[in-house]
Structure 1
Amino acid sequence: MKFTYNQKELLSGQATILCGIINVTPDSFSDGGQFFQVDKAVARAKELVADGATMLDIGGESTRPGSTYVEIEEEINRVVPAIKAIKEVVDVPISIDTWKSQVAKAAIEAGADIVNDITGFLGDPEMAQVVSQTQAGAILMFNPVIVRPNHPSSKIFPTFGGQGVFTDQEMAAFETMDIVELMKAYFVKSLALADQYGIAKERIMLDPGIGFGLTKKENLTLINEIDVIRQMGYFTFLGVSRKRFIMNILNEVGFETDFATPEGSINRDLGSAFLTSLAAIKGVEVLRVHTIKPHLMATAIADSVRLSRQMDDVNFKAYK
């Protein structure tokens, strides 16, 4: 498989791509405010790429539980200067993390290569058309908050549009549907829109939406059955870094996960990196992460196992 954007391409079956996160927001759940100013965002971009990131994801609106809607003009004012400045200093593809078509349009004009839409084209009815008028790639995420707004795990999130996309009958069926089947049903609608606007299959990655309106069991099930996306014929984009269910797993076996403590800060990224390793073994093409080094170590080991037939052989010497 391949993924294309702006006449460039990424190939499946290669080393796992680490996509570094840059939140130009004051309230992201784990790094809010740290990279809000353009100069700080640029410095962070250079650091991430130097550490091994080969893609960057820039967002101007927090979508964490309890976050609030950011007006379109404000979001544009946050991301456009950062994208322009970052494009001047690093040469890696940049995705814009937004579900709003006007923000996506402005970001693409500023130099963004890929639109990372957490609603999979279903939140804003104009998004698919905006992407279709460019050569940008698209990441389409399964968003349970849209299809199960009354679920306890969805109620703590802000709304992401999408009203009226599914019928009342479909919405009723979604409430009890198996989570993998629900994801597939959601992607049917997303991909139909992409096809309607002539967006080629090769320009699309699919994201299972880990952490959005899902229970612990559902998060783990989607990760365990991530191969479903490849079976559909698409690149897989996965974001598990610092998700709450990881902290829950670590807490259950007695590990510190308080972000404010040095031990907790290390553990949150180690726990995330273990999942990155599992994802890389499964052949997930792109991992969206907050820090690079622990995930680079994870993918170096996992990719070596997955691509063992392609590895150069080495004969080891005896221990001294």
Structure 2
Amino acid sequence: MSTPVVNHTWKAMTAAEREQFDEDGFLLIPGALSPDEVEFYRAAVDRVYQNSPSAAGGDALHLLSAVKNCPELAGMLDHPAVFGYVWSILGWNAHVYHSHIDVHPTIREQKPFWWHWHQDGGRQNREIETDPRPRLSVKLAFWLSDVSEPGRGNLTIVPGSHKTNWLVGPPRRDIEWPQPEGAIQVTVNPGDVLFFDRRIWHARSDNFSDITRKVAFFGYTYRWIAIRDEVADLPEQAWWDTLTPVQRQLLGGIGDGTGDHSWGHYPETTPLYGELAARGLLDPSYPPLIP
């Protein structure tokens, strides 16, 4: 399950990047994955797809629990080219609560209209009463196919919409409705990564091209928020011990009850805290990055 060697120094988000992220709700990181990495991860996703029921009919695949179902993707969890954006926002007491692998082949016939626009978080968007809603989580999208032109199943977003609780839309999702004002299709190359605020209003567009859309999404949140992915049996998997302590933390690993736990009361026993401390990356001016 070895991944291509990646030589990147861990680094924090810059002040300019933080300002742009706060304003737009997303950042695009071009070329975060090397060509060898793209080939490795794409081959792993292809194997998962070919072994799925979707492959027989050439149907789309939306598979939750990315690493559980494709352990080769573990290197994405804390990929050094982009992981700094995650802990720069959430700090060291974080984990992956939701992840998925998406494979979308060409659509040959127009499907009935459906309003796909949403914010991530599900019931969070009904049950939290503040305006705007709190960020709570961020997401990394690792693109493994050429989506450099519109019409290839591009992620569609409304820049700056992450501080808007409601989007004007149809009374029912099956009623034809124009795209939201300001919506754009994000164009990306294989190896690009999109980092975005879970609150940004977004939707997947249809893929009418001859290129199969392939992407892996990892959503990160605070460890005191429950994990949606299926992770309970991961410590029993043969490959679990090949992961780093930080990767195990991100997949829901916690201590033995005498130290590290999801509330973060014992930072010195939390793997990501220790790694950031050793690298001199704890920032006392930013609360999530201090004890």
TM-score, with normalisation over the residues of structure 2?
A: 0.26
TM-score, with normalisation over the residues of structure 1?
A: 0.24
Structure with more of its chain in helix, by fraction: 1
Q: Which has the higher contact order (CA 8 A, sep 6+)?
A: 2
